[in-house]
Each structure stands twice: as C-alpha cells, then as structure tokens.
Amino acid sequence: MSNLFEGIKQKVAGKGVSIVLPEGTDERILSAADRLAKENVLKPILIGEVDSVKAKANDLGLALEGVEILDPSTYENMDELVASFVERRKGKATEEQARKVLLDPNYFGTMLVYTNKANGLVSGATHSTADTVRPALQIIKTKQGVSKTSGVFIMVREDEKYVFADCAINIAPNSQDLAEIAIESAKTAKLFDIDPKIAMLSFSTKGSAKSPETEKVAEAVRIAKELAPELTLDGEFQFDAAFVPSVAKSKAPESVIQGDANTFIFPSLEAGNIGYKIAQRLGNFEAIGPILQGLNMPVNDLSRGCNSEDVYKLSIITAAQAL
C-alpha cells in the first residue's frame, strides 16, 4: 500500500493543487489538512468560521501554516459565486435563494471548484453521501458522454492492485451505464499505474447462460468496444473465467482477456458491494474508496467513520484526479 501511495503522492506534490475540505472544524479534517500543507503535497482550503477553525486547531496543537480558511458568510467574492450559481442552475434558483444555499459549506466548496478557485473537493466526515454528491451533480455535473457518476474501489493487497466498479452509486445500471462505467474505470486504473484489462462480470461466460441479466452485460461489452475500441475489454464473464488463466482457456479461448483481468465491472450495485466486501473481509484486501468518477472535476466522499489518514489519502487521490 505504501508504494502505491508514494507514487500518487509524487505525481501530486509541488503541483500547486488545491483541495477544498468543507468540514473545517472536524478534528480528522484539521489533522489531515495540517499534514498535507506541512508536507507541501497540496494546498488545503478549509471552510468554516475562521476563529472557530483556528481555535479548534489550536486545541489540537496544529499550526495550519499554508492552509487557507474561508468563511462563506464573509467571503469577499460571494457576489461572483452567487451569479455563477444562478446561471448554472438555469432558472432553478433566484439570487436570494443562491445566497442562502451558498452558506452551506458543501455548496460553497463545490462552487469554489466549479469557478476554478480550487481543483477538487473532499467531504463526508460529518455529512451524508447525498450532502456531498448532490451539489457536485447539480453544479459540476458529469463529463460529456457520461450520464451518471459511479464509485470505484481500488483493492490492494501487497503488490496486487485491482479496480472494482460500480460498488457505491448505481443500483441497477443499464447496458449504456455499464459501458460508461467501464471506460471511466479504465481512466481511474491508470491513475494508480494499473494497465486496465477490463472484465464485464455476470453469472455467465460468453453466452453459457441466457437471460435478460446476461444479455444486458453482453450489450454493455458491445457498446464499450464501440465507444473505446482501444481498451482491452471483454465479457460477459464469470469471475473465474476473467481471473483464472486455466478457466479462461476452457471457457473463453478466443478472448483478449485470458485470466489476466484487473478491472472488474459488476452488473449491479448489490453484486459490486458484496464483491468488494468479500475481498476485503475474506481476502484481506484494503479497499480504497469509493472514488467517484465521471464528473467534470473531482469530488470525493469520505465515510463518516473515517480517520485522519483516510482524509489525507483521499485528498491526495482527488488531487491526482484533478491533474
């Protein structure tokens, strides 16, 4: 794990990337921000009432040198953010409503990213996933050609690294969604120096069973190959046919994937969520994520049970996505 992280940290350090942390008085956030600034990895921007943030940092013995603190209620460029928000929401918010909404630290922080005053955002230590993701979907929105954001986990055990998606967001993705998730997951894999070999998973291998569920995945493979013919991608596969060379040889001898897949696209959220937790708990893999992908600019969601190390790592990953 340390090697994986050192590589990402080296990519990011000294590049002047700024990451917004809206939960500015949370102990875990403050500790991570102080460390990130001290190590000159990136520039943290904390959101909160300045005196409260400084008092909390002081209690923790943190200097917060190199950390910017912004208070939405006194922010000098608020008029610009309000105007930009009203324009972006296209008639869904008046100026008065925008002023009120932008006092919310997640909305305020997301607008800083949208207006290029910061490069990414990490929230969720005290907020729900919806509180973090909703402003991102309303303001930053998904990339062209991507209809939905998705959540990947990087599964790490010593020198082994795999990408599992979507394990966090889309309950019942259709064929088009699965194709988009596969293409975005390939980009995420490359961030972690994984050369993506993508398997679209099912309970069938290459038509060994026929049902609407297996046909959905087969169609996703067709769409993904059409949208990104340069990718090493195939399916539909049972997990063993994607991962075990001897099984691949007997079940899918003609496939470009010969038991060497490292990026696994699950057919539904229940399969993805169960799959990553089995690997984590029975296989002793570390699960890094969920990392959100498919947005125009990076926003990531912490678990409310996170620690300062989680905040530190996810901030660095978010900075790498921004580059």
CATH assignment at residue 8: 3.40.50.10950
Q: What is the pTM of this model?
A: 0.89
276 and 238 in a single domain? The answer is yes
pLDDT band at 303 (very low <50, low <70, confident <90, very high): confident
- Whole-number Å distance between alpha carbons of 48 and 35: 19
173 and 108 in a single domain? The answer is no
Task: Tell me what percent of the residues of the chain surpass a pLDDT of 90.
Answer: 89
- Asked whether residue 6 carries a pLDDT value surpassing 80, the answer given is yes
221 and 107 in a single domain? The answer is no
The model's pLDDT over 233-243, given as tens digits with 9 standing for 90+, comes to 999 999 999 99
Could you tell me the residue range of the domain that residue 306 belongs to? 2-141+296-322
Cα 171–Cα 284–Cα 239 angle in degrees, nearest 5: 50
- Whole-number Å distance between alpha carbons of 193 and 213: 32
Whether the CB-CB separation of 93 and 111 falls below 8 Å is answered with no
223 and 116 in a single domain? The answer is no
At 307, the amino acid letter reads N
Phi, psi for residue 201 in degrees, rounded to 5:
-90, 150
For residue 156, the surrounding DSSP H or E stretch is strand 150-157
Beta bridge partners of 232: 197
For residue 291, the surrounding DSSP H or E stretch is strand 286-293
- Whole-number Å distance between alpha carbons of 34 and 64: 5
- Asked whether residue 273 carries a pLDDT value surpassing 80, the answer given is yes
pLDDT band at 262 (very low <50, low <70, confident <90, very high): very high
- Whole-number Å distance between alpha carbons of 166 and 198: 13
- Can you tell me the mean pLDDT for 1-27? 89
At 310, the amino acid letter reads D
Strand 286-293, strand 150-157: pairing: antiparallel
Phi, psi for residue 128 in degrees, rounded to 5:
-75, 165
pLDDT band at 117 (very low <50, low <70, confident <90, very high): very high
283 and 302 in a single domain? The answer is no
CATH number of residue 178's parent domain: 3.40.50.10750
- Whole-number Å distance between alpha carbons of 172 and 20: 31
212 and 301 in a single domain? The answer is no
- Can you tell me the mean pLDDT for 5-23? 92
pLDDT band at 107 (very low <50, low <70, confident <90, very high): very high
Q: Tell me how far the alpha carbon of residue 118 is from its chain's centroid.
A: 17
For residue 24, the tally of other CB atoms under 10 A from its CB is 27
Q: In b/e form, how buried is each residue of 262-278, taking b as 16+ CB within 10 angstroms? A: bbbbbbbbebbbebbee
Phi, psi for residue 257 in degrees, rounded to 5:
-95, 120
- Can you tell me the mean pLDDT for 61-76? 96
- Asked whether residue 316 carries a pLDDT value surpassing 90, the answer given is yes
Whether the CB-CB separation of 186 and 203 falls below 8 Å is answered with no
- Whole-number Å distance between alpha carbons of 105 and 45: 12
User: Tokens 């493979």 identify what position?
Assistant: 221
CA 98 to each of CA 25, 46, 86, 198, 266: distance values in angstroms, whole numbers, following the listed order: 24, 21, 6, 42, 39
168 and 136 in a single domain? The answer is no
282 and 302 in a single domain? The answer is no
Q: Which of 138, 144, 136 is nearest to 89 (CA)?
A: 138
183 burial via Cβ count (<10 Å: 0-12, 13-18, 19+): buried
Domain count, the chain: 2
The model's pLDDT over 154-210, given as tens digits with 9 standing for 90+, comes to 999 998 999 999 999 999 999 999 999 999 999 999 999 999 999 999 999 999 999
185 and 115 in a single domain? The answer is no
Beta bridge partners of 288: 154
Q: Give pLDDT, residue 3.
A: 73
Q: Give pLDDT, residue 2.
A: 63
The model's pLDDT over 195-235, given as tens digits with 9 standing for 90+, comes to 999 999 999 999 999 999 999 999 999 999 999 999 999 99
174 and 49 in a single domain? The answer is no
- Asked whether residue 1 carries a pLDDT value surpassing 60, the answer given is no
- Can you tell me the mean pLDDT for 62-66? 94
Q: Give pLDDT, residue 190.
A: 94
- Asked whether residue 4 carries a pLDDT value surpassing 90, the answer given is no
Cα 103–Cα 105–Cα 111 angle in degrees, nearest 5: 85
The model's pLDDT over 137-147, given as tens digits with 9 standing for 90+, comes to 999 999 998 99
- Whole-number Å distance between alpha carbons of 117 and 24: 17
115 and 53 in a single domain? The answer is yes
At 318, the amino acid letter reads T
The model's pLDDT over 17-54, given as tens digits with 9 standing for 90+, comes to 999 999 999 999 999 999 999 999 999 999 999 999 99
Q: Give pLDDT, residue 304.
A: 84
8 and 122 in a single domain? The answer is yes
For residue 31, the surrounding DSSP H or E stretch is helix 27-38
